Chains A and B, each alone.
Chain A
Amino acid sequence: MQGRGEESLLVRRLGRRRVRGLKYTLLAVPFVIYIFAMNYVPLIGWLYSVFDYKLGQRFLDFGNMVFVGLDNFKKLYNERSEVMRVLRNTLVMSGLGLLATPLPVVFAILFNEIKGKHFKKFVQTTTTLPNFISWITVYGIAFAFFSVNGFVSTVLRQFGIEPSPTGILGDVDKVWFLQWFLGIWKSFGWSAIIYIAAIVGIDSELFDAARVDGADKLQTIWHITVPGILPTYVVMFLLAVSNILTNGFDQYFMFYNPLVADRIEVLDYYVYKVGFIINDYPYSITLGMLKSLLSIALLFTANGLSKKIRGDAIV
């Protein structure tokens, strides 16, 4: 009874809406705390780019943190040849990825022309499956195909050709190409879905009009389907551009081996290597922090570009 009396006092003071609003905010507090603990506390860890961190030290033990200034940034400069190599690998892999962006578009257009309903479903189910298996599994499959005793070597031997003794997985000249190929294999069917949706969204009257005007299939595709998908493609391309520093860690971690190290170490892998193999936490944190900040800057740039080109933001 007393509680009710208090509540009504609060309601009288603030109004029913404000009280309800306050209740919702209070309900959201646990979520905010949770997100803070999981996602923002690690950000505070960026402090270690200017403070020293010894293995086993307590996290954010402010009393015992030694300020080291810009030591880690100087290190970045001193090791610039190494950093440039990693950056080269990163940009090569991202650049190849950008080159492959038209592929899902072509696939979506072809897919849209399939007549049989069941065949269509079958194609979509099978081509999107690789997107949902882990890179560990992809590595297991790639091992079966591209290792010394793998499928490819077996085929070559059948034709009397002696395969390279390291297998393709250990061939430094082929590593970029192989990783590119695997990336496409895993994602093309999945990436195509958004374009398939875009094609479905094109006004069907346009197609009818084209048919009445006597346009054949190729002309219809070129003059109606392609322009219809273009805005979606521009968005996806800009997103990919803003992601050029991020290749993903799993793939490069799995396929890393000493033979191909020189060309497979991308930024995401390098951050791991410096942190967990060399055990230089502060330097790894510095690299990761710079990568994160640059990525956000790129995302804003892409967003600005998108606003300019399409009059609409992407994020």
Chain B
Amino acid sequence: MRRNKSTMKVSRQERALQVVNFICMTVAVFLCMYPFWYLIIYSLSDPAQASRGVWLLPKGFTIYAYQWIMENTNFGHAFLISTSRTLINTVLCLLGSSLFAYLVTQRDMIARKFIYRFVIITMYLGAGLVPYYITMKSYHLNNSYLLYIIPGILNAYYVILIKTFIEQIPASLEESARMDGAGFFKVYARIILPLSKPIIATVAVYASVGAWNSWQDNYLLAQSPKLQTVQLLLYNCINQAQVLADSMKQGLVQAPGAVALSAETIKMATTIVAVLPVMMVYPFLQKYFVKGVMMGAVKG
């Protein structure tokens, strides 16, 4: 009964607002999703038909562009580099940042404030591209896989997020463990880490997306093709349209049943392949992303 009454109360204005709102949201969703969809259908279409326009579904379905990428580029290797750096980076970053965050919550620590600020300031004080470049070079990290691993171990922003979270854990839990004779590392591993799971998950998501998307280190400091990441492969692929087109001329000599390729199709397929890992895990991890923003609203 009550329900009926309240539905009746919904005024005309409110209903109109609902409709307008629904339209606005649908447009927003469309603007955000259609570009991805367009690239997917285009890259799955026969290039000759696609160049005349595809809108909703692939025309002349073919996965030849994807096959071509697998066979003719370094994609497999780049994928391995990107995936491995993402995994190693994330794990080390989580360990380093959480251990340091827990350390600076210890009130007994001598020079605690100074040490914490010493780390946090780096968030605001960037040296710039060239100083970064010559520093990394002077450490001989250029053209080395370690370039992808070492700089990401401690991140000031993640330290703030984790520290804020740890401070909300009841101190009594830690104290009683201490009474039972557990040392610093034992408390960290057995109590702090398990209880910080939500924020650890959030930071893990940020760190892994960041690692997957990073390319500057690769571009500036690691020219060796052995160290090429998926992002840089995509960058090169987009920028070498002409070279690509030339190298594909052989492919264009049509063997019976073979489909021609175009530079456009290749580029779009590569873009999709580079973004696919993020798109696949994103819907499942979205709540952790959001949690980080809420936490980030709390200042360091």
Taken together as a complex, chains A and B put the C-alpha atoms of A21 and B107 apart, in Å, by 8
Q: Other CB < 8 Å A-B pairs besides A22-B110, A24-B110, 9 of them?
A: A18-B108, A59-B137, A110-B24, A124-B286, A134-B231, A144-B38, A217-B14, A249-B129, A292-B126
> Is A113 touching B18 in the complex (CB atoms < 8 A)?
yes
Binding site for A on B (CB under 8 A): 11, 13-14, 17-18, 21-22, 24-25, 28-29, 31-33, 35-36, 38-39, 42, 51-53, 96, 100, 103-104, 106, 108-112, 115, 118-119, 122, 124-135, 137-139, 150-151, 153-154, 184, 209, 212-216, 220, 231-232, 234-235, 238, 264, 267-268, 270-271, 274-275, 278-279, 282-283, 286, 289-290, 293-294, 297, 299-300
- The answer to whether A144 and B268 touch (CB under 8 A), given A114-B21, A136-B274, A197-B297, is yes
> Is A217 touching B13 in the complex (CB atoms < 8 A)?
yes
Q: Which of the candidate stretches A4-12, A73-81, A270-278 sits at the interface with the other chain?
A: A270-278
> Is B293 touching A189 in the complex (CB atoms < 8 A)?
no
Binding site for B on A (CB under 8 A): 17-18, 20-25, 27-28, 31-32, 34-35, 37-43, 45-46, 48, 53, 58-60, 107, 110-111, 113-115, 119, 122-130, 132-134, 136-137, 139-141, 143-145, 149, 151, 154-155, 158, 185, 189-190, 193-194, 197, 216-218, 232, 249-250, 254, 271-272, 275-276, 281, 284-285, 287-289, 291-292, 295-296, 299, 313-315
> Is B51 touching A34 in the complex (CB atoms < 8 A)?
no
> Is A218 touching B17 in the complex (CB atoms < 8 A)?
yes
29 contacts between A and B (CB under 8 A): A24-B109, A25-B112, A25-B115, A27-B103, A28-B103, A28-B104, A31-B103, A42-B131, A43-B131, A45-B130, A46-B131, A59-B135, A59-B137, A123-B25, A123-B28, A127-B28, A129-B279, A136-B238, A140-B238, A140-B274, A140-B275, A141-B271, A143-B267, A144-B42, A155-B53, A232-B297, A276-B130, A276-B220, A288-B129
Taken together as a complex, chains A and B put the C-alpha atoms of A144 and B42 apart, in Å, by 9
**Nearest B-chain residue to A283, judged by Cβ:** B130
| Cβ distance A33 to chain B, nearest Cβ, rounded Å | 11
| Cβ distance B45 to chain A, nearest Cβ, rounded Å | 12
Q: Which residues of B contact A53 (CB under 8 A)?
A: 134
> Is A25 touching B109 in the complex (CB atoms < 8 A)?
yes
> Is A194 touching B127 in the complex (CB atoms < 8 A)?
no
> Is A132 touching B131 in the complex (CB atoms < 8 A)?
no
| Cβ distance B217 to chain A, nearest Cβ, rounded Å | 12
- The answer to whether A141 and B35 touch (CB under 8 A), given A25-B110, A133-B213, is yes
**Nearest A-chain residue to B126, judged by Cβ:** A292
Q: Which secondary structure dominates where chain A touches chain B? A: helix
Q: Which residues of B contact A115 (CB under 8 A)?
A: 18
- The answer to whether A39 and B127 touch (CB under 8 A), given A21-B108, A28-B109, is yes
> Is A132 touching B118 in the complex (CB atoms < 8 A)?
no
Taken together as a complex, chains A and B put the C-alpha atoms of A58 and B286 apart, in Å, by 45
Taken together as a complex, chains A and B put the C-alpha atoms of A119 and B220 apart, in Å, by 43
Taken together as a complex, chains A and B put the C-alpha atoms of A99 and B167 apart, in Å, by 37
Indicate which residue in B39, B122, B150, B282 contacts A39 across the interface (CB closer than 8 Å): B122
Q: Which residues of A contact B96 (CB under 8 A)?
A: 31
Indicate which residue in B106, B216, B268 contacts A140 across the interface (CB closer than 8 Å): B268
**Nearest B-chain residue to A140, judged by Cβ:** B271
> Is B28 touching A218 in the complex (CB atoms < 8 A)?
no
Q: Which residues of B contact A119 (CB under 8 A)?
A: 25
> Is A285 touching B264 in the complex (CB atoms < 8 A)?
no
Taken together as a complex, chains A and B put the C-alpha atoms of A179 and B7 apart, in Å, by 45
> Is A128 touching B286 in the complex (CB atoms < 8 A)?
yes
Taken together as a complex, chains A and B put the C-alpha atoms of A115 and B270 apart, in Å, by 38
| Cβ distance B25 to chain A, nearest Cβ, rounded Å | 5
Q: Which residues of A contact B100 (CB under 8 A)?
A: 28, 31
> Is A144 touching B39 in the complex (CB atoms < 8 A)?
yes
> Is A144 touching B137 in the complex (CB atoms < 8 A)?
no
Taken together as a complex, chains A and B put the C-alpha atoms of A28 and B117 apart, in Å, by 13
| Cβ distance A272 to chain B, nearest Cβ, rounded Å | 6
Q: Which residues of A contact B109 (CB under 8 A)?
A: 21, 24-25, 28
| Cβ distance A217 to chain B, nearest Cβ, rounded Å | 5
